[in-house]
Structure 1
Amino acid sequence: MSEKQIQFGLKIKELRNKHHFTVRQVSQQAGISSSFWSLVENGKRNIPKPITLEKMAHGLREPKEKILELAGLDTSNNNNKENKHVDLADDDVVMSYEGKPIPPEDLEVMRRFLRGGKNNGQ
């Protein structure tokens, strides 16, 4: 257990208690298991990934930015997440789906589909 994990867990527990919620209530609202929630609060789990932190914020009825900040994450980039644009023709960008890189042959299929089934860029 790191000190950061312990401090984060204590802050989450403090917020939950402030709202007079049980672990079961917040975990059900967030859509995550109560055992996972409890482990986070007790500093026995790593600080969750941003998507899970957002679910926890929902369960706590707190702004997601607040929970992300408690976790030590920079919220300035998360606010612009939906505004990031990537050109499918840019070969210098590694595109991914669900955290896994998209293979070049799949990218070519996507390009071909967007061109209306044509093999070349004409």
Structure 2
Amino acid sequence: MTNALGEYLRELRGKESLRSVSERINGRLSHSYISDLEKGVSRRGTPINPTPEALKILSEAYNVKYDKLMSLAGYLDKEGHADQKQLNQKQLTVAAHIDDDVTENEMNEILNFIDFIKNRDHNK
């Protein structure tokens, strides 16, 4: 992910606090996770790749087009089509991070991403 997504999310949030955004979306994303997305890196210092589900939640929270966030995150190319190279790399990244210290929330995000991949062609 380029920092373009993080900058855009920060701009959308404006002066609203991270905690307020998290509360407004009923805690579906934590304030620390939203902060990580805005910075473009996780608390571990590694690049962060938001799941399509997280982007959907944020698109609803900020009342912006889901496709715009998907594009900024690298899931869609300039024409709005799925970027297979990017998706394949993200799948490898997800698979590499499935280990014993995955939290329940992280595992849910992984499963949501897998569902997105499996179902995207069925929803056309």
User: So what's the TM-score if we normalise by structure 1?
Assistant: 0.51
Instruction: Tell me, in whole angstroms, the C-alpha distance in 1 between the residues paired with 2:59 and 2:22.
Output: 10
Instruction: Tell me, in whole angstroms, the C-alpha distance in 2 between the residues paired with 1:64 and 1:29.
Output: 18
Kindly indicate whether residue 19 of structure 2 is the aligned counterpart of residue 12 of structure 1. no
The answer to whether the 8 Å contact 1:54/1:64 transfers is yes
5+ residue gaps, structure 2, are 43-47, 83-110, 116-124
Matches within 5 A, 1:53-92: 53-74=55-76, 75-76=80-81
Matches within 5 A, 1:99-114: 99=114
Count of residue pairs brought into register by the alignment:
76
Identity %: 25
Structure 1 partner of 2:21: 26
5+ residue gaps, structure 1, are 78-96, 101-122
Paired residue for 1:44, among 41, 58, 78?
41
Instruction: Tell me, in whole angstroms, the C-alpha distance in 1 between the residues paired with 2:58 and 2:6.
Output: 12
Q: Which has the higher contact order (CA 8 A, sep 6+)?
A: 2
Cα RMSD (Å): 2.5
* Cα distance, 1:28 vs structure 2: 2.4
User: So what's the TM-score if we normalise by structure 2?
Assistant: 0.50
Instruction: Tell me, in whole angstroms, the C-alpha distance in 1 between the residues paired with 2:51 and 2:30.
Output: 15
Instruction: Tell me, in whole angstroms, the C-alpha distance in 2 between the residues paired with 1:62 and 1:25.
Output: 18
Instruction: Tell me, in whole angstroms, the C-alpha distance in 2 between the residues paired with 1:21 and 1:63.
Output: 20
* Cα distance, 1:76 vs structure 2: 4.3
The answer to whether the 8 Å contact 2:5/2:69 transfers is no
